[in-house]
């Protein structure tokens, strides 16, 4: 028994690093002290850039520059309004107004925020709209967009469509202690929005991996 105890004590401790912390923000958070955010351990941020084809977030530029200067990996997101215009039109608007991508190692692929109801679209029409946005964004930037959604929205508005997992990283929103069920086809999530408030401004997120994996996603490698 003593020998067993000594062997256990001699084994190296296995330390599991916490997943990289992130946030997502818009003009609703007002002015943000990005230096403090970085000092709090936040490694990445998604920043609202656009909505539909007629709204540019007034805090986008300040947030993007501030996050960059503080050393965060950052990306932009587009708040979808599928009932207002085509997926292609909104993808082009997004890519032209802050939602682009470059292989500089600190820019995440743009994200498509799907949450504001089904806009009167059928399951097939909504699925086609999302694919139109995704393909257009890819043609503009060389990257497929991250899809932000909840599993309940995905089921209600697309009929739990599958197939997007092959190209579009999943950013799942579930304010709970676990990610729960994922949309059809997805075996894992890439980002998880786990709370709408916390120690840092905006919604609280994490990356499903380590810091090296987050950087690979930004580089597109």
Return the structure tokens found at 21: 């912390």
β pairing state of 203-207 and 146-149: unpaired
Catalytic residue among 43, 51, 113, 205: 113
Q: Does this model's pTM top 0.85?
A: yes
pLDDT over 70 at 97, yes or no: yes
pLDDT band of residue 116 (cuts 50, 70, 90) is confident
pLDDT over 50 at 10, yes or no: no
Mean pLDDT of 44-48: 99
Of 161, 171, 149, the residue nearest 217 (C-alpha)? 171
Active-site residue flag, 24: yes
Distances (CA, A) of 136 to 27, 116, 154, 161, 195: 26, 21, 21, 19, 31
Mean pLDDT of 100-113: 97
pLDDT over 60 at 55, yes or no: yes
pLDDT band of residue 46 (cuts 50, 70, 90) is very high
pLDDT band of residue 5 (cuts 50, 70, 90) is very low
- The predicted pLDDT at position 16 comes to 58
pLDDT band of residue 105 (cuts 50, 70, 90) is very high
Q: Facing residues of 113 across strands?
A: 79, 148
pLDDT tens digits, residue range 165-187?
999 999 999 999 999 999 999 99
Catalytic residue among 24, 43, 51, 205: 24
pLDDT over 80 at 11, yes or no: no
pLDDT over 60 at 73, yes or no: yes
- The predicted pLDDT at position 204 comes to 98
pLDDT band of residue 9 (cuts 50, 70, 90) is very low
Active-site residue flag, 181: no
Mean pLDDT of 115-133: 97
Is residue 44 helix, strand or coil?
strand
pLDDT over 50 at 38, yes or no: yes
Domains and CATH numbers, the chain: 18-219 (3.20.20.80)
- The predicted pLDDT at position 17 comes to 75
Spatial separation of the C-alpha atoms in residues 185 and 165, rounded to whole Å: 6
Mean pLDDT of 38-64: 98
């Amino acid at each position: 028994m003593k020998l067993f105890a000594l062997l256990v004590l001699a084994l190296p401790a296995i330390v599991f690093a916490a997943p990289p912390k992130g946030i997502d923000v818009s003009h609703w958070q007002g002015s943000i002290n990005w230096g403090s955010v970085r000092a709090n351990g936040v490694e990445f941020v998604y920043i609202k850039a656009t909505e539909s084809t007629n709204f540019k977030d007034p805090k986008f530029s300040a947030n993007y520059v501030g996050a960059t200067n503080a050393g965060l990996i950052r990306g932009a997101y587009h708040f979808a309004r599928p009932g207002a215009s085509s997926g292609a039109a909104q993808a082009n608007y997004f890519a032209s107004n802050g939602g682009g991508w470059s292989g500089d190692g600190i820019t995440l692929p743009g994200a498509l925020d799907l949450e504001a109801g089904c806009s009167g679209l059928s399951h097939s029409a909504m699925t086609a709209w999302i694919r139109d946005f995704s393909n257009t964004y890819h043609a503009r930037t060389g990257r497929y967009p991250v899809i932000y959604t909840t599993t309940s929205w995905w089921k209600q508005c697309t009929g739990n469509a599958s197939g997007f997992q092959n190209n579009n990283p999943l950013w799942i929103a579930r304010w709970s202690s676990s990610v729960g069920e994922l949309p059809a086809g997805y075996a894992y999530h890439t980002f998880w929005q786990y709370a709408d408030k916390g120690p840092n401004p905006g919604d609280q997120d994490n990356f499903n991996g380590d810091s090296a994996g987050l950087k690979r996603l930004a580089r597109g490698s």
